[in-house]
Chains A and B, each alone.
Chain A
C-alpha cells in the first residue's frame, strides 16, 4: 500500500517569553492509504497540534510533511488551502458548522471553493448526507440538531469533496458513549469505502476500534 502521509521529524515549539513549550518534539510517522488510525495520548501531549500540522492548518517549526508524496513545506497559503480543500477533510470536536446555514448548505459549502456548480453541489451534499444517515434533516439549521446529528453533518462536510484523508480531532469528545460508538462505526464504514482516517482521542475504547494506534506523550511518539 502507498504512503499517503509522511511526517518527518516534526517539531512545534511555542516560545512564550522565557518559557518554551515543545508541543511536538520530533515526531515521525508514515500513514498508509486506507488506514484507520487513532492517535491517543493525555491532554496537552500534542495530538491536536500534530493533527493540524498533518492537515496543513498549522506549520511545523521544523521537519516536514509529505502528502501523496508532495512536500508541503514552503507552500503558499493558497496552495495549502487547496490541499485542505481537496485532499483533507476535517472533523472537529465542536462540529464547527456555520449556524446560519442549513445542514445541506453546510455540507455543500466546501464545494464552493472547488468551483462546483450549484446543482452538482447539492447533489453531492445530499449523497454525503445519505452516507452518514442524515437524509431526513437536509433543511434543518444546526441548532435544531442533536450533537450526534451535528457531528454526522460535520462528517458529511468532511467527505463531500472526496478527500483521501479524513482528520477527526476528538470527534466523539462531546457525545455520549452510545452516540460516540455510532460515530465510530460510521468512520469504520467510510474507511471500508476506502478513506484514510485518522482519529485523535484520549479514549482507549475508541482507539481500540481502530486498526492502528499511535501513542503520544509530551510531544513524542511513545513506543
Chain B
C-alpha cells in the first residue's frame, strides 16, 4: 500500500504545483483561520502567564475600599468601620486603614517630598514587605502615637546616601508644622512586576497620623485581606454589596486585584472570542473553498479518474487520492497559517513588551485543525470522484 500513498502524495504535489495561483488562493481561508488559532492560543498563554506572574507577587487576596466625599459616607466610613467589617465577614482575615498626605522629609540638609502613610502595624504583613535593614514599628508605637517611621528604599537612598538610616531621626513637614521621627526600618525595593510601589513612601502609625498630620476621623482607605480558603473575587462582591446597603454608590470605590484580574480576563475573553470567531469563519469559508477547488479538480480530471479505474484503481484508491490532495492543500495552508500566526503572536508580545513565546500546543492544534478541515471538506469531492462511472469518465475529453 505504501507505493500507492507515495504516488498519491506525488500526484497531490504535482496538482498543487501545476496550479500555483489556484493553490495559493484556495488555501487563503485555511491560512487565516489557522493563523487566528495560533494567535489566540499563544496570546492566551502569554496573558495567563503574565497575569499570573504579576499577581502571584501577592495582593491577590487584598481588597481596597476608598471612601469618597458623599452625603453619608463620612459618618459610616470611619476607623471603627474596620471592626464592623471584621465582625460581619468571617472571610476577612484582617483589615487595616491607611491615611496619606503629601509631605516633605528632611535629614541634615537633604529635603525630599513624598507620601506619608498612616497605617496599622499589620501593613507589612499585608504586602509581605521585606526590609533592607531594621523592621516595621510595633503595635505599641501605634497605640502610643509614637513618632516612628518605616521608609521606602528610594527615600533612604536620597536622604541617607551611604548610611544606614535605622535609628536615625528625620524631620517630616506637614502643612505648617513638623515632627521628628525615628526610623525603624528601610523597606526593600518593590518588584518591578508588582502593581503597587512603596519605594518613595514613609509609613507612620495611624494614631500618630491622626494626632499630628491630619486631625480627622476620616479614613482614606481600608485594606482588607481575605483569609485563605475564600475566593477573593466572590468575597469582594459580597463586601461591595454590604457597602452599597450602607452608603450611596458614589460614596466609595472598591478595588481588588482579583476582580481586576477577572475584568482583564473577561476583556481578554471577548478579544479571544472575537479572534476565534474570525478564525472559525475563516476555517469554514476556507474549507468551503477547498471543497470547491476539489470539485473543480475532480471535474477537470474526470478523464484521469477514468484511466485510473480502467487500469484497476478501486473506488477507495480514488477516494484516498483526492482526500490526500485536499489534506495537502489544507496542510499547506495550515503551515502558512502557523508561520503567520507565530509572527503575529511574537509581534503582539513584542509590542506589549511581554516575553516572546509561542505555544507548542497552538502549532500542534494548527496542524490538527488544517488536517481536519481537509478531511471534512475533502470527503465529499473525493467520494464523488470515487463514484464516477469509469466509462463516462473515460469518454470525457
Contacts and interface: CB of A to CB of B under 8 A. Distances in A.
A113 B313 contact: yes
A178 B13 CA distance: 40
B3 A85 contact: no
Given A57-B391, A58-B391, A100-B18, A78 B316 contact: yes
A81 B3 contact: no
A108 to B, nearest CB: 9
Category for how many chain B residues contact A: 20 to 34
B215 interface: no
Interface stretch (A30-38, A61-69, A115-123, A209-217): A115-123
B312 A85 contact: yes
Contact of B3 (A58, A98, A116): A116
Contacts of A58: 390-391
A100 to B, nearest CB: 5
Contacts of A109: 7, 308, 311
Interface in A96-133: 96, 98, 100, 109-118, 121
B311 A90 contact: yes
Nearest to A167: B310
B14 A57 contact: no
Nearest to B310: A90
B315 interface: yes
B18 A81 contact: no
B343 interface: no
A5 to B, nearest CB: 17
Nearest to B303: A96
A135 interface: no
B315 A161 contact: no
Interface of B: 1-4, 6-7, 14, 18, 303-304, 306-317, 390-391, 394
Given A85-B311, A92-B394, A112-B3, 19 more contacts: A58-B390, A77-B315, A78-B314, A81-B315, A84-B310, A84-B312, A84-B390, A90-B311, A96-B303, A96-B306, A96-B394, A98-B307, A100-B18, A109-B311, A113-B313, A115-B4, A117-B3, A118-B2, A121-B3
